Every structure is written in C-alpha cells, then in structure tokens.
Structure 1
C-alpha cells in the first residue's frame, strides 16, 4: 500500500499562461522542455514539469504530494483533467513562475532520479473567464503527485 511522505500547499504566479515545478538547484530548467503543438496541459522531463494554465496572470492553488509508491487512483474524481507523466528530478523542488518568482515552500525528495507525476487540474472553465492581468487567486486548482519510478 502506498504512503504519503510529504506535501506542500502553495500558490504560484501564472505568467504567459504557464508555471513550472522546478528543481531548486536550477541546473536544469523546466522552461526548456519542448512544448507540444496544439492544446496541452503539462509536459515533464529533465528538471521538472512545465504546466499550462487555462488563463494568464493569476494565482492558482497547487498541492504537491510526494508518495513512496503510486498513490490511489480514487482521489481524482471532480478534476477536469488528470495526466500521467514522468520527470527527472534532483533532491529538492518548488513551484516557480516563468520569470523566476518562487513559491513559498520547497519539497525534499527521497532520492534523485526519474519520478512519475500525476497531474490533476480543476476549475478550468471558471479560469478561462479570467481576464488578462486579473491576478485573481484561488480559481484554478492543481494537484501534483510524485513518486519514484
């Protein structure tokens, strides 16, 4: 049975419709991950996750959880989208805006290396309605669950 090891509840400034879950060391930049063509929500790779919001210039709530194994799948009803990705991470991570404004909290990983990431996003319909430069807080919500691969 899987066990929740640690979690942070934070917010991050979305700029240009994007934000990242990034290694604190910043030796590898999640903003350098290739963006898919067309509509997309998240990509993972070396250094973390690049996340695409339903709006620009706002502050979503984000919960990042670290699990020892795959978390239960029964936690994902009521979300607009749920994606499974992988990313390669070092010892500590945090949320960050595209212009490097950091979230308030960091999360220490159990070990460096490839991690599975389950990304859930909610309230996207309400988020789309936010005007550019609204800087509203708490409309969009994200859950990012990580566990070693």
Structure 2
C-alpha cells in the first residue's frame, strides 16, 4: 500500500486560466523541450509538462487556488470525486514551486528528495463552488472556487 512521504500546501493566483510550477534550477527546459512559460492554454489539456516544469489550465481565470503537493513512495489510490490526469515528469533539482504567469509572487519550494529524477505526476482538481454562482465582479479575485493536488511518485 502506498504511503504519503511528505506534503505542502500553497496558494497561487490563476491568471489567464493558468498557473505554472517550475524547478529551482530554472524553467528553460532542456534540449529540445520548451519552457513551461512557452506552453499554451488548452482547455482539453488541464496538465502539460516539460523538462523542469509544467502548466495547469484551470476552468476559470482571475481567482486564487490552493495547491497541495504530495510525494508518495508508490502510486496512490484514485479519488472518485476528483477530475485527474497523469503524466511523466522530470526535474533536475528535485525542488519545485508554484508560479503565476504575470505577477511574481514568492512561493516555497517542495522537495521531492531526489535530483535528476523522473516521476509519475497526477493532477487532481476539486470543484468547491459552482463557478456560475460566483459574483466575479463583487468578489474580485475569489478564493475557494477550485482546489488542486499534484501527486508525485517514482516511476516503476
């Protein structure tokens, strides 16, 4: 049975329907891989990754989301109440953090415990409120519309 090794939560501002996560070594990609900053919003692809980073496309723009990073020793069980997507992800430093597309807020790094490693990554999204019932003008940059969980575990 898979065991949770470590976890960390942070909040990021979603801008243009997206947020990014990047490696501490930089997000320029490697070799022929693009930077996560070069990935484009795709409504059908909630999660896109490249070397040292990735882009998460959300259903809505201009709001704050809570993101939980989780490191597992093996593939965690699936959650029935979440929309999910799995990909392979590689990182050079093994330390990643959140980033906004436009603003440049400081975010804490989450340590995956190994550098120059590849991982399975599952992105889960939980809708917390009906977005059609949010008064976007009144609330400005609302919180609590959706929540994300990024789960990492070693490749088998």
Fold in common (TM above 0.5): yes
From the superposition, tell whether residues 98 and 82 of structure 1 become closer, same or farther in structure 2 (CA, over 3 Å). Answer: same
C-alpha contact (below 8 Å) 1:117/1:145 kept by paired residues: yes
Matched, 1:99 2:102: yes
**Length-normalised TM-score, structure 2:** 0.80
**Length-normalised TM-score, structure 1:** 0.83
Give 2:120's match in structure 1, choosing from 116, 128, 133: 116
Matched, 1:45 2:50: yes
Give 1:139's match in structure 2, choosing from 117, 126, 145: 145
Give the whole-Å Cα distance in 2 for the aligned partners of 1:40 and 1:5.
Answer: 28
Per-residue CA deviations over 1:81-136 (Å, capped at 9, x if unaligned) read 11111111122101111125345321112213221111111217723655379310
- 2:66 aligned counterpart, secondary structure: strand
- 2:13 aligned counterpart, secondary structure: coil
Give the whole-Å Cα distance in 2 for the aligned partners of 1:11 and 1:21.
Answer: 12
Runs of 4+ in structure 1 deviating by more than 6 angstroms, as ranges, are none
Determine the structure 2 residue equivalent to 1:11: 11
Per-residue CA deviations over 1:10-42 (Å, capped at 9, x if unaligned) read 110100110012112224332223655x53211
By percentage of residues, which structure has more strand?
Answer: 1
Give the whole-Å Cα distance in 2 for the aligned partners of 1:54 and 1:11.
Answer: 17
C-alpha contact (below 8 Å) 2:22/2:52 kept by paired residues: yes
Determine the structure 1 residue equivalent to 2:38: 32
The alignment covers a number of residue pairs equal to 145
Offset of residue 61 of structure 1? 1.2
List gaps (5 residues or longer) in structure 1: none
Determine the structure 2 residue equivalent to 1:2: 2
The worse-fitting range, judged by mean Cα deviation, of 110-119 and 53-62 is 110-119
